[in-house]
Amino acid sequence: MDLNEVKDDVGPEKIVQVYDPSTGMRGFTVIDNTALGPAKGGIRMTPSVSVKEVFRLARAMTLKNSLAGLPFGGGKSGIIYNKDADAAKRDIFLKSFAHSLRNLVPSEYIAGPDINTTEKEMETFVKAHGDFNAATGKPADFCKIIRGKKVCGLPHELGSTGLGVSCATQVALKHAGIPVSGAKIAIEGFGNVGYFTFKHLEEAGAKIVAISDSKGCLYNENGLSFEEIAKVKKDKGSVTLGRGRMLPGHKLFELPVDVLIPGALPDVITRQNMNSIQSKIIVEAANIPIPLDVEKELSKRILIVPDFVANAGGVISSWVEYIGKDSKYMYKTVKDKITKNTQLVLTKSKKDGVNPRDAANKIAMDRIREAMLKRSKKFR
């Protein structure tokens, strides 16, 4: 990748490419900006991951961490890995990658889970590296005594991202003057994010009328039950076999709902289907579910909570784990920070007459540039 294609006055600070000829491991880490703290971002393992892709994700983490008010900068890593051909080398690659980054982790970069990496891979990475804070998102039973205190992992499987999305959704509903109780909601995806988003929104009194997975969409205008859907998914393998109408997956985006939550795949709302969307609010639980140019146009008629505002629960959980707190503290912190930050963004958006993404970007970038200015004064 040509650095001139992507560099600006914020970053990237470092692009590290590593190769281990003894194992065949090839990977890279992009440290975008560390003005607010060490760069934080996950490790994805896919056959097509590239430096350019990792840079885009690192920049998203820079903004997400800044907006969330965390003492983290933005970073991301990638390991070229084909889970079919290289399955036996997963742990070998992770251990080799951890060893290669010893001089940067955790002083400049802290790892975490991403595509094809979970709490188990984070444990492998940390053990190979040797520092308990080399990664977050570790298993809950992976613990260490630090300064006389037992500290443990906080896996993302605890549902921090979904909890945050539910909080952002409730703020957006109130901002739009729609009561949370009875609000009709459609959620794309029933993985970790969709699962906990559904659970927490139902507990708040909202009515989830549609849910989808890879098999299609289930729609019931009278509302779906979280408990029933979770059981159907576990027992029969798909949410579409619950009580309601089974529809093609793409139809979820066209339903007459108050809130649409794209929570699985990127670029699911495009120029081809944008005019079919009937929801009053979109809360982006997935990363980049709408191309930015399309989002900008949709924002003229739909209130959109951007991805790096709504789905920051995971990195907030990472910070809680990093400072050695427990899951109870994590749940409260995610709820408080996502609620406060969504309110801040939507209020600024309305006040300045700009869309929420522009408002969020302005808040995040102002904080980063202020921190960079303070850092630069130390060298004068």
Question: Rounded distance, CA 157 to CA 365, Å?
Answer: 30
Domains, the chain: 3-64+72-153 (3.40.50.10860), 160-313+344-361 (3.40.50.720)
- pLDDT in the model for residue 213: 96
- pLDDT in the model for residue 315: 96
Buried/exposed code over 291-314 (b: 16+ C-beta within 10 A; e: otherwise): eeebbeebbeebbbbbbbbbbbbb
Q: Is 86 helix (H, G, I), strand (E, B) or coil?
A: coil
Mean pLDDT of 204-218: 97
Q: Which amino acid is at 69?
A: G
Q: What is the pLDDT of residues 10-30, one digit of tens each?
A: 999 999 999 999 999 999 999
Q: What is the pTM of this model?
A: 0.93
pLDDT cut 70: percent of the chain above it: 98
Q: What is the pLDDT of residues 198-208, one digit of tens each?
A: 999 999 999 99
150 is annotated as an active-site residue = no
Mean pLDDT of 350-357: 97
Closest C-alpha among 332, 358, 342 to residue 165? 342
Mean pLDDT of 149-160: 93
In contact, 303 and 175? CB cutoff 8 Å: yes
Alpha helices in the chain (DSSP H): 51-67, 90-100, 119-129, 160-175, 192-203, 226-236, 292-298, 307-310, 313-322, 327-352, 356-377
Q: How confident is the model at residue 361 (pLDDT cuts 50, 70, 90)?
A: very high
C-alpha distance from residue 244 to each of 199, 258, 322 (Å): 18, 19, 43
- pLDDT in the model for residue 87: 86
In contact, 270 and 293? CB cutoff 8 Å: no
In contact, 82 and 100? CB cutoff 8 Å: no
- Among residues 7, 52, 64, 76, the one annotated as catalytic is 76
Query: In sequence order, which residues have a C-beta less than 8 Å from that of residue 97 and are 6 or more positions away?
Result: 18, 25, 27, 43, 77, 79, 125
- pLDDT in the model for residue 380: 66
Q: How confident is the model at residue 84 (pLDDT cuts 50, 70, 90)?
A: confident
pLDDT cut 90: percent of the chain above it: 91
- pLDDT in the model for residue 304: 98
- pLDDT in the model for residue 157: 87
Question: Rounded distance, CA 48 to CA 270, Å?
Answer: 23
Q: Which amino acid is at 316?
A: I
